[in-house]
Amino acid sequence: MSTPRLATAFGDEGESPGLALWRATNAWQAKQRACLKPFGLTHVQFVLLASLVWLRADGPVTQHDLAEHAQTDPMMTSQVLRVMEERSWIVRDPHPTDRRARSLRATAEGAALANRAVKAVEAVDRSFFSVLNDGGRQLAEDLNALLTAPASGLRPA
C-alpha cells in the first residue's frame, strides 16, 4: 500500500512561495540570533528596543504603539518589556497626556545597546541579501506590498 501524495498545486517544493519564505525566514533568523547573542539580546528584544529608539524621536511611545510598529503580539510584547525593564534597558514613565498609559523610553544603556546591535544586524542583512541583484531592496518592497494588500490578511485587525 502506497502513501498518498500531498494534494498540492505545486509540482516541486521549490515552486511554493510560502515554503520558500518559511525557509528563507528561518535561515535569516538563525543568522540574526547568532549575531545578537554576544549582545545578550534575543531577536524580539532587539526588534522592540530598536523600534522604541526609532519611534521615541517622534514623541511618547506606548506599549500599544510599540507592538503595532513591530507587529508583535501585545501580550508577548508586555512580557518582553518586563524583562528589558529588569535589565535597565527601558523605563516606563507616566504618559504626558493619557493617565491610563505609560510612556516607554530606552535608557541611555538601552539606546547604546540598540545602536551597537543594529550595526551587527545590518551587517548580517547585507551579507544575507547580497545574493539578490539589488541587495534585497525589491524583496523589501514586495514584502511591504504583501503587508499593505487589503486581501493579504497579514495586518492584524
Asked if residue 143 belongs to a domain, the reply is no
Domain range for residue 73? 30-138
Half-sphere exposure of 44 (CA within 13 A, CB side): 14
- Domain containing residue 46: CATH number: 1.10.10.10
Asked if residue 86 belongs to a domain, the reply is yes
Asked if residue 82 belongs to a domain, the reply is yes
- pLDDT of 58 above 80: no
- pLDDT of 100 above 50: yes
State the average pLDDT over residues 41-65: 91
Residue 60 or 127, more confident: 127
* Cβ-proximal residues to 10 (8 Å cutoff; 6+ apart), any chain: 16
The pLDDT of residue 152 is 58
* Domains held by the chain: number: 1
**Band (157; pLDDT cuts 50, 70, 90):** very low
**Band (154; pLDDT cuts 50, 70, 90):** low
